[in-house]
Amino acid sequence: VIVNEHSWCCALDVGLLAALVLAIARARNIKTLPLRFVASMRDGLEEESMVADLAEMRDLDIDFRADVGIEDAGKAVANAIRKRLWKVPLPSTDASDRIFMNFRPLIKGSSSTKQTDGGDNWTWEHETEWPNVNGEPNWDHKWLAYSMWVMADQVDTEEWVICMKLLWSQDGDRQIGKALKSVLRDLASNPTVRLMDENWSYRA
Protein backbone atom coordinates (compact mmCIF):
# COMPACT_ATOMS: atom_id res chain seq x y z
CA VAL A 1 0.00 0.00 0.00
CA ILE A 2 2.77 2.46 0.94
CA VAL A 3 4.78 1.72 -2.23
CA ASN A 4 1.75 2.18 -4.50
CA GLU A 5 -0.18 4.99 -2.82
CA HIS A 6 2.88 7.10 -1.96
CA SER A 7 4.35 6.86 -5.49
CA TRP A 8 7.65 5.22 -4.62
CA CYS A 9 7.96 4.07 -8.27
CA CYS A 10 9.47 0.70 -7.37
CA ALA A 11 8.56 -2.95 -7.00
CA LEU A 12 7.33 -4.42 -3.71
CA ASP A 13 10.63 -6.20 -3.00
CA VAL A 14 12.56 -2.94 -3.39
CA GLY A 15 10.11 -1.18 -1.08
CA LEU A 16 10.51 -3.92 1.54
CA LEU A 17 14.31 -3.74 1.23
CA ALA A 18 14.18 0.04 1.68
CA ALA A 19 12.00 -0.29 4.79
CA LEU A 20 14.43 -2.81 6.29
CA VAL A 21 17.37 -0.50 5.56
CA LEU A 22 15.54 2.31 7.37
CA ALA A 23 14.88 0.00 10.32
CA ILE A 24 18.57 -0.94 10.59
CA ALA A 25 19.63 2.71 10.41
CA ARG A 26 17.09 3.63 13.09
CA ALA A 27 17.98 0.73 15.38
CA ARG A 28 21.71 1.40 15.12
CA ASN A 29 21.21 5.18 15.14
CA ILE A 30 23.74 5.68 12.36
CA LYS A 31 23.54 7.87 9.26
CA THR A 32 25.71 5.74 6.93
CA LEU A 33 24.96 2.12 6.07
CA PRO A 34 27.46 0.09 3.99
CA LEU A 35 25.41 -2.55 2.15
CA ARG A 36 26.30 -5.54 0.01
CA PHE A 37 23.65 -7.01 -2.29
CA VAL A 38 23.21 -10.09 -4.36
CA ALA A 39 22.04 -8.20 -7.45
CA SER A 40 20.30 -9.81 -10.38
CA MET A 41 22.09 -9.30 -13.70
CA ARG A 42 19.14 -10.50 -15.81
CA ASP A 43 18.97 -7.38 -17.96
CA GLY A 44 19.06 -8.79 -21.46
CA LEU A 45 16.40 -10.10 -23.80
CA GLU A 46 14.92 -13.46 -22.66
CA GLU A 47 17.40 -13.70 -19.76
CA GLU A 48 14.55 -14.12 -17.27
CA SER A 49 13.92 -17.59 -18.72
CA MET A 50 17.55 -18.77 -18.71
CA VAL A 51 18.70 -21.44 -16.27
CA ALA A 52 21.92 -19.84 -15.07
CA ASP A 53 23.47 -17.97 -12.17
CA LEU A 54 23.13 -14.40 -13.40
CA ALA A 55 23.72 -12.62 -10.10
CA GLU A 56 26.73 -10.87 -8.61
CA MET A 57 27.75 -9.00 -5.47
CA ARG A 58 27.32 -5.23 -5.47
CA ASP A 59 28.17 -2.63 -2.80
CA LEU A 60 26.03 0.41 -2.01
CA ASP A 61 26.76 3.00 0.69
CA ILE A 62 23.62 4.79 1.90
CA ASP A 63 24.05 8.19 3.58
CA PHE A 64 21.18 9.87 5.43
CA ARG A 65 20.98 13.48 6.58
CA ALA A 66 20.39 13.84 10.30
CA ASP A 67 17.08 15.65 9.70
CA VAL A 68 15.76 13.57 6.79
CA GLY A 69 12.10 12.55 6.95
CA ILE A 70 11.41 8.84 6.99
CA GLU A 71 9.52 8.74 3.68
CA ASP A 72 12.14 10.84 1.89
CA ALA A 73 14.79 8.46 3.24
CA GLY A 74 12.84 5.43 2.01
CA LYS A 75 12.37 6.90 -1.45
CA ALA A 76 16.09 7.72 -1.63
CA VAL A 77 17.01 4.09 -0.86
CA ALA A 78 14.48 2.75 -3.37
CA ASN A 79 15.70 5.19 -6.02
CA ALA A 80 19.34 4.19 -5.50
CA ILE A 81 18.43 0.53 -5.98
CA ARG A 82 16.10 1.18 -8.91
CA LYS A 83 18.82 3.19 -10.69
CA ARG A 84 21.49 0.63 -9.76
CA LEU A 85 23.80 3.18 -8.14
CA TRP A 86 25.89 0.43 -6.59
CA LYS A 87 29.47 -0.50 -7.44
CA VAL A 88 31.49 -3.67 -7.96
CA PRO A 89 33.31 -4.69 -4.74
CA LEU A 90 37.08 -4.39 -4.85
CA PRO A 91 38.95 -7.66 -4.17
CA SER A 92 40.89 -6.08 -1.31
CA THR A 93 37.82 -4.56 0.35
CA ASP A 94 37.17 -5.44 3.99
CA ALA A 95 33.48 -6.37 4.11
CA SER A 96 33.25 -7.06 7.84
CA ASP A 97 31.36 -3.79 8.43
CA ARG A 98 28.89 -4.35 5.57
CA ILE A 99 25.32 -5.59 5.80
CA PHE A 100 24.71 -8.50 3.43
CA MET A 101 21.23 -8.56 1.86
CA ASN A 102 19.74 -11.10 -0.54
CA PHE A 103 16.09 -10.62 -1.54
CA ARG A 104 14.55 -13.44 -3.58
CA PRO A 105 11.16 -12.50 -5.05
CA LEU A 106 8.61 -15.05 -6.19
CA ILE A 107 8.83 -15.42 -9.97
CA LYS A 108 5.69 -16.54 -11.77
CA GLY A 109 4.35 -16.11 -15.24
CA SER A 110 7.47 -15.15 -17.17
CA SER A 111 6.87 -13.10 -20.31
CA SER A 112 8.89 -15.60 -22.31
CA THR A 113 6.62 -18.18 -23.97
CA LYS A 114 7.01 -20.70 -26.73
CA GLN A 115 4.53 -22.64 -28.81
CA THR A 116 4.36 -26.39 -28.37
CA ASP A 117 3.12 -28.80 -31.02
CA GLY A 118 -0.37 -28.47 -29.63
CA GLY A 119 -0.30 -24.70 -29.89
CA ASP A 120 -0.28 -24.08 -26.13
CA ASN A 121 2.12 -21.70 -24.41
CA TRP A 122 4.54 -22.78 -21.71
CA THR A 123 6.87 -20.82 -19.53
CA TRP A 124 9.47 -21.24 -16.81
CA GLU A 125 7.91 -20.76 -13.38
CA HIS A 126 10.13 -20.69 -10.32
CA GLU A 127 8.38 -20.91 -6.96
CA THR A 128 10.32 -20.09 -3.82
CA GLU A 129 9.90 -22.69 -1.12
CA TRP A 130 9.70 -21.83 2.56
CA PRO A 131 13.22 -21.46 3.96
CA ASN A 132 14.36 -23.21 7.11
CA VAL A 133 12.78 -21.19 9.93
CA ASN A 134 13.81 -23.56 12.71
CA GLY A 135 17.40 -22.34 12.99
CA GLU A 136 20.63 -23.94 11.83
CA PRO A 137 22.67 -26.68 13.53
CA ASN A 138 26.04 -25.80 15.05
CA TRP A 139 25.29 -22.08 14.75
CA ASP A 140 27.59 -21.30 17.67
CA HIS A 141 30.54 -22.64 15.64
CA LYS A 142 29.84 -20.58 12.51
CA TRP A 143 31.64 -17.39 11.54
CA LEU A 144 29.75 -14.37 10.18
CA ALA A 145 31.72 -12.42 7.58
CA TYR A 146 29.43 -9.37 7.75
CA SER A 147 28.06 -7.14 10.48
CA MET A 148 24.59 -8.48 9.58
CA TRP A 149 23.26 -11.13 7.19
CA VAL A 150 19.75 -10.87 5.72
CA MET A 151 17.92 -13.35 3.49
CA ALA A 152 14.36 -12.50 2.46
CA ASP A 153 12.23 -15.01 0.55
CA GLN A 154 8.86 -14.19 -0.97
CA VAL A 155 6.63 -17.20 -0.34
CA ASP A 156 3.34 -15.75 -1.58
CA THR A 157 2.03 -12.67 -3.38
CA GLU A 158 2.13 -10.48 -0.27
CA GLU A 159 4.07 -12.69 2.13
CA TRP A 160 7.80 -12.71 2.86
CA VAL A 161 9.97 -14.64 5.29
CA ILE A 162 13.00 -12.70 6.55
CA CYS A 163 15.92 -14.61 8.05
CA MET A 164 18.64 -12.61 9.80
CA LYS A 165 21.99 -13.43 11.39
CA LEU A 166 23.14 -10.81 13.86
CA LEU A 167 26.24 -10.03 15.89
CA TRP A 168 25.10 -9.34 19.43
CA SER A 169 28.07 -7.02 19.82
CA GLN A 170 26.35 -4.56 17.45
CA ASP A 171 24.48 -1.93 19.42
CA GLY A 172 20.81 -1.80 18.57
CA ASP A 173 20.60 -4.95 16.46
CA ARG A 174 18.48 -6.69 19.09
CA GLN A 175 15.85 -3.99 18.45
CA ILE A 176 15.56 -4.59 14.69
CA GLY A 177 12.07 -6.09 14.94
CA LYS A 178 10.78 -3.19 17.01
CA ALA A 179 12.51 -0.69 14.69
CA LEU A 180 10.93 -2.25 11.58
CA LYS A 181 7.51 -2.05 13.22
CA SER A 182 8.03 1.64 13.97
CA VAL A 183 9.29 2.35 10.42
CA LEU A 184 6.25 0.74 8.79
CA ARG A 185 3.91 2.58 11.16
CA ASP A 186 5.58 5.95 10.53
CA LEU A 187 5.64 5.45 6.76
CA ALA A 188 1.89 4.77 6.82
CA SER A 189 0.73 7.38 9.32
CA ASN A 190 3.49 9.94 9.91
CA PRO A 191 5.76 10.05 6.82
CA THR A 192 7.38 13.39 7.68
CA VAL A 193 8.78 12.27 11.06
CA ARG A 194 12.57 12.13 11.15
CA LEU A 195 14.24 8.80 10.45
CA MET A 196 16.62 9.41 13.36
CA ASP A 197 13.78 10.24 15.73
CA GLU A 198 15.13 9.64 19.24
CA ASN A 199 11.64 8.77 20.54
CA TRP A 200 10.89 5.96 18.07
CA SER A 201 11.34 3.19 20.66
CA TYR A 202 8.64 4.67 22.87
CA ARG A 203 6.12 4.58 20.02
CA ALA A 204 7.01 1.05 18.82
* pLDDT at residue 9 in the model: 78
Tell me what pLDDT residue 154 has: 84
Residue 120 has pLDDT above 60, yes or no: no
Return the pLDDT at 110. Answer: 46
- Find the mean pLDDT for residues 189-203: 82
pLDDT band at 123 (very low <50, low <70, confident <90, very high): very low
What would the pLDDT profile of 160-191 be if each residue is shown by its tens digit?
888 888 887 777 898 899 999 999 999 999 99
Q: Is 94 exposed, middle or buried (0-12, 13-18, 19+ CB in 10 A)?
A: exposed
CA distance 193 to 74: 12
pLDDT of 203 over the 90 cut? no
- Residue 19: is its pLDDT beyond 70? yes
User: How far is it, in rounded angstroms, from Cα 133 to Cα 135?
Assistant: 6
Q: Are 161 and 130 in contact (CB under 8 A)?
A: yes
* pLDDT, tens only, 25-63: 999 998 999 999 887 665 555 545 555 555 688 899 999
Residue 142 reports pLDDT greater than 80: no
Q: Cα(first)–Cα(last) distance of the chain, in Å?
A: 20
d(CA 26, CA 179): 6
DSSP string, 41-90: ---STTGGG--S--EEEEEEEEE--TT-BHHHHHHHHHHHHHTT--BPPP
